[in-house]
Structure 1
Amino acid sequence: MAENLNDLDRLRPVDPTALAEATEALHQRERSWQFRELRTRTQLTQAEIAERMHVGQNRVLQIEPGGVEHARSETLRTYAEALGGELNVEIKAENHSYHVA
């Protein structure tokens, strides 16, 4: 039986690949939650956002629960504008930031 955290680490080492996958899944869930949170703060329904985006409600439903990762930047821009906001895209590399959209 493990007596401390070091003992536990030796008995059950962390798989770096599994940890990376779990971390990415958590980040995806967080981004999805943020999209829903933005929409609910504006007191808009998915149907109202869809109408403003000129798409079906099903498209909004695809974006909010995790489809953000696979959405085109144009779709995300339209979603942001439907909320009364704007989309900003930034690339960060080598301690520099580049605003691209």
Structure 2
Amino acid sequence: MKKTLDELVRERPVDRTQVDAHKRRMLDELRAYRLRELREASELTQVELAGKLGVSQNRVSRIEHGDIERAQVDTLRKYVEAVGGHAHVEVELGDERIQIA
């Protein structure tokens, strides 16, 4: 006998904490992939970009594989500038937005 979706959900309820954590990981990976695309469009290797940033090639690789949360703001800013962009850091406090970098 086949089970309905409602029956399956009752047997295995959704853990919102896990879902939210997975969403965050997916968004980090998507952002990282976009950074990699920008680097490649700028015809830079990870080694060349690392030299411009003053970090190791391994650090560039980790950023491009989703380890953005632990990257320093200055490193991300330099990364974006090295591929021809401009980065801005903005703080949101209620309805107010403040650019801090």
TM-score by length of 1: 0.81
Aligned equivalent of 1:15? 15
Aligned equivalent of 1:51? 51
How big is the shift at 1:62?
Answer: 2.5
Q: State the aligned residue count.
A: 100
The one-letter code sitting in structure 1 at the alignment partner of 2:27 is H
Aligned identity (percent) is: 39
The one-letter code sitting in structure 1 at the alignment partner of 2:3 is A
Equivalent residue runs for 1:1-101 within 5 Å: 1-3=2-4, 5-101=5-101
The one-letter code sitting in structure 2 at the alignment partner of 1:88 is H
The one-letter code sitting in structure 1 at the alignment partner of 2:46 is Q
Task: Structure 2: give runs of 5+ residues left out of the alignment.
Answer: none
How big is the shift at 1:91?
Answer: 1.7
The one-letter code sitting in structure 2 at the alignment partner of 1:65 is H
CA RMSD between the two structures:
1.8
Moved over 4 A (4+): none
* Cα distance in 2 between the residues matched to 1:21 and 1:59: 23
Q: CA 1:98–1:12 in structure 2 vs 1: closer, same or farther (change >3 Å)?
A: same
Cα distance per residue 1:57-90 (max 9 Å; x no partner):
2221232112211011111111112112221111
Q: Is the 8 A contact 2:36 2:64 kept in 1?
A: yes
